[in-house]
Amino acid sequence: MHPVYLSLGNIHKGLRRKRNSKAWLLLAKLPTGRFRQTQFGPGKVENVKMPGILRQRLFHHCMRIVLEPLRANHHIYRDMVGPDSKLRRCVAVLMAWIADLEEQLMIAGVMNFHCPVCLATKKDLGDPECFCFRTGEWILHIYSLLRAKYPSATTYEFRNAVRSLGVGLSGCTEEPCWEGLLLGPERFIKQDLLHGSHKFIWDHLMTWLTGTLGSQEIDSRYRAQPPMNGVRHFPDGISKLSQVSGREHREVQKVLVPLVYTAHNTPDHDSHHVVMSTRSLVDYVYLAQSPVLSESDIDRMREALLCFHAHKNIFIINGSRELENFHIPKLHALPHLIDDTRRSGTPDNFSTETPESLHIESCKEPYRASNKRDVDEQILNFLTIKEKISLRASYESWKLPGKRLEAPSVRIFYPARYFVATDRSHMARPSPQVKSPPP
């Protein structure tokens, strides 16, 4: 499933991070077509590439429908309540789109191993500095020129024409979903702390440290850490961990610097570079998670990132990184956290950790409660009933001061379509003789 969630910018971030605070709304559930059984043309390459192109076009088409209210009302001013409980006249804009790297590339319409925000290419991903932003106006201008030059081009021909320019655009869609909004992808795409920082340390830095020290040495050092209050202990090490969550990422990072401080397997000068690179990267990620950041904190983040780039070559020298370069998109995305801080606030506002936890009650639980037939309709009905019960409980709690009522949990073990009725007489549970409708 591909759900899309919505939240408001005037909700406090401490409340937004809580899964049970009802600060997120299931906005849409996008289709996930594969287009595998379709013959697109006589060429083999076209038949291989077209399913991926159509999936991206389907995504933009659906999100264009979802974002239509923002596009239609971008000039309408409304009175909205701010964080200080005061009314202010505002215009609703798409402030942030939080997604992982793969979806960021699809949103901006950029090729793989390119930055979705700036003009950096694959050979530039290892540099500590950013490049000029790839603005939405510039992308739309390229598309308009090619549409005027090739008015009768097919989807595959238009994609090849865009890629032939060598500007890093994928060309999979001619009408991006963000066209007509007040902000372009260089402004509303935010770097994700979960995938961009925590998973970068887990996928790359931990792999390099394992190649430097060895997996058995890493596990033994984690087992040797004394149990402390507030720090998770790994009695079996970390090499056998699977499906690591964001909380486990943070727990691994807490003792990562003292764990590699005495690298006995490496020479003294190599150990110094390993420790400095690890410490500087962990410092950068910890500073990015601060609830408040000042100019001095941003300078410290920049210094930590430059320190990592100054010592990172030790992993190529000792052979822990097989490639002789650091062309890693997530490594290049780290400086963009500073840009996001200056533009929209601290990076702890933008993390997919909370929305991903919403899949449990927005997708998995309704799916288990269905009869596995026509699940889309049943999931929506399940969520509608659950939301109405919660609103009713909130109203009763407001009407009777001093008596706090909790929203009852909804457990439906038969097709949710039987609840689609406004008359209370039709809300009764069906008798056991009623069979499920045929597929």
Q: Would residue 386 be called left, alpha or beta, if left means φ above 0 and alpha means ψ between -120 and 50 degrees? A: alpha
Q: What is the pTM of this model?
A: 0.83
Contact assessment for residue 111 and residue 169, using Cβ atoms and an 8 Å cutoff: yes
DSSP assignments along 143-161, one per residue: HHHHHHH-TT--HHHHHHH
Which of 12-16, 99-103, 261-265 is predicted least confidently?
Answer: 261-265
CA distances from 265 to 214, 240, 259, 273 (A): 9, 22, 13, 13
What mean pLDDT do residues 307-329 have?
92
- Is the Cβ–Cβ distance between 416 and 430 less than 8 Å? no
Give the pLDDT confidence score for residue 355 in this predicted structure.
84
Q: Is 39 exposed, middle or buried (0-12, 13-18, 19+ CB in 10 A)?
A: exposed
What average pLDDT does range 58-67 have in this prediction? 94
pLDDT for res 186: 92
pLDDT value of residue 372: 87
Alpha-carbon distance of 291 to 218, in angstroms, equals 31
Mean pLDDT (whole number) for 124-144: 90
- pLDDT, the chain, mean: 84
pLDDT at 410: 42
Question: Does the structure show a pLDDT above 50 at 306?
Answer: yes
| pLDDT of the residue at 429 | 38
Query: What is the per-residue pLDDT across 370-394, written as a single tens digit (0 to 9) for each?
Result: 998 888 889 889 988 988 998 888 8
Question: Any idea which of 27-31, 203-207, 289-293, 434-438 has the lowest mean pLDDT?
Answer: 434-438
How far apart are alpha carbons 184 and 343 in whole angstroms?
13
* Mean pLDDT score, 247-270: 81
Q: Region 239-260: what's the mean pLDDT? A: 88
Q: Average pLDDT, stretch 409-424?
A: 37
Least confident of 264-268, 278-282, 380-384: 264-268
Average pLDDT of the residues in 39-56 = 84
| Farthest-apart Cα atoms in the chain, separation | 79
- ∠ Cα 255 286 346 (to 5°): 160
Q: Which of 26-35, 156-165, 365-374 has the lowest mean pLDDT?
A: 26-35
User: Is 40 in contact with 156 (CB distance < 8 Å)?
Assistant: yes
Q: Kind and range of the H or E element at 376?
A: helix 375-399
Which pLDDT score is estimated for 83? 67
Q: How many degrees, rounded to 5, is the angle at CA 145 between CA 140 and CA 146?
A: 100
* Res. 66: pLDDT tops 80: yes
Whether residue 159 has pLDDT greater than 90: yes
The whole-number average pLDDT for the span 57-85 is 84
Residue 347 pLDDT exceeds 60: yes
